[in-house]
Structure 1
Amino acid sequence: MLLSEIMDRPVMDTDAAQSIGKVEGLVITARPPRIAALRLKKTNGGGTLLTWQDVHAIGPDAIMARANAREGTTEDIAERAAACRSLPGRRILSERGTEIGLLQDIDFDPESGKVLGLLTSSGTLPGQGLLGIGSYAVVVQEA
């Protein structure tokens, strides 16, 4: 599944069956490359981060999450969220500093949250090559 496919998709509370927000982006960890949280916009109370373990299912029309899931997000996730703001369009650099292209989309497994690939302006890079994400660039292993 691609990030672009879930952007603006409603996130529903499984207990109250009401919207708690819409997907604005992903918070990703590099080691291992996986989704740590969903960034939400237009939230109805609570925070703007939904940890991945609180995501119950990703359906074609909505994402289902546990009630009160946004409470108590950790400082570590909040720190990562700052670096992961606006990932599409970010530069991709090799570990040696060579510019590879621009990040266009992120392919991930909707069950596990594992990052499968980074779609770039110059092709697709394997997710397991992700080394780090900073405010300036995404760093990957050189092929």
Structure 2
Amino acid sequence: MMLFTEVRGLPVLPQAAAGPLGTVASLTVDVATGRVSHVRLRRRFRFRFRFRKETVLSWEAVQAVGPGAVRLRSAGALDQVPPGHDMLGRQVLTDAGAGHGTVLDVAFVPETGRILAVFTTRGEVVAGRLLGLGDHALVVRAD
């Protein structure tokens, strides 16, 4: 088990011995499948006048996630996908409209990307209760 906060900021390393492609900015979750679907990374350009750019990698491109880095199967797996929603810091609402705090962290299985639990300011929410994630909130099934 790993936490999203442990992965954020890790270097993303290609399979070859080249330098890092960037650092993990966030993980995108497909709530319908209960899995991490993409890794969003912040890339750095060599020129000072350029800004950082965010790139998205499919979870299938990830070979291993460890405490020191995210290693890729292939460096050519950059995706162009619609914007994702970062779960960390997102408000949590039940399907009945009641507030359930704010997301503090998410536990997942690094080998598969399967979500185990979401930790909120009001307690733990098991992955089976996740219903949707949008601009405003993470929606979960009421107890």
Partner AA of 2:75 in structure 1 = A
**What corresponds to 1:60 in structure 2?**
67
Q: Cα offset for 1:42?
A: 2.6
**What corresponds to 2:133 in structure 1?**
133
Please tell me whether the aligned partners of residues 115 and 128 of structure 1 are also in contact (alpha carbons under 8 angstroms): no
Return the alpha-carbon distance in structure 2 between the equivalents of residues 8 and 42 of structure 1: 11
Return the alpha-carbon distance in structure 2 between the equivalents of residues 52 and 116 of structure 1: 16
Identity of aligned residues (%): 32
Q: Cα offset for 1:96?
A: 1.1
- The runs of 5 or more residues in structure 2 that have no matched partner are 47-52
Structure 2 SS opposite 1:53: helix
How many residue pairs match? The answer is 135
Return the alpha-carbon distance in structure 1 between the equivalents of residues 88 and 54 of structure 2: 23
Return the alpha-carbon distance in structure 2 between the equivalents of residues 114 and 42 of structure 1: 25
**What corresponds to 1:112 in structure 2?**
112
Structure 2 SS opposite 1:18: coil
Please tell me whether the aligned partners of residues 92 and 99 of structure 1 are also in contact (alpha carbons under 8 angstroms): yes
Aligned CA distance change for structure 1 residues 83 and 17 (closer, same or farther; 3 Å): closer
Partner AA of 2:64 in structure 1 = A
Root-mean-square deviation (Å): 1.8
Deviating 4+ runs (over 4 angstroms): 43-47
Structure 1 SS opposite 2:21: strand
TM-score normalised by structure 1 residue count: 0.87
Task: Judging by fraction of residues, say which structure has more helix.
Answer: 1
Please tell me whether the aligned partners of residues 43 and 54 of structure 2 are also in contact (alpha carbons under 8 angstroms): no
Return the alpha-carbon distance in structure 2 between the equivalents of residues 27 and 60 of structure 1: 19
TM-score normalised by structure 2 residue count: 0.87
Structure-to-structure mapping, 1:1-143, within 5 angstroms: 1-43=2-44, 48-65=55-72, 66-70=74-78, 73=79, 78-79=81-82, 82-85=83-86, 87-143=87-143
Aligned CA distance change for structure 1 residues 126 and 40 (closer, same or farther; 3 Å): same
Partner AA of 1:40 in structure 2 = L
**What corresponds to 2:50 in structure 1?**
none
Q: Cα offset for 1:10?
A: 0.1
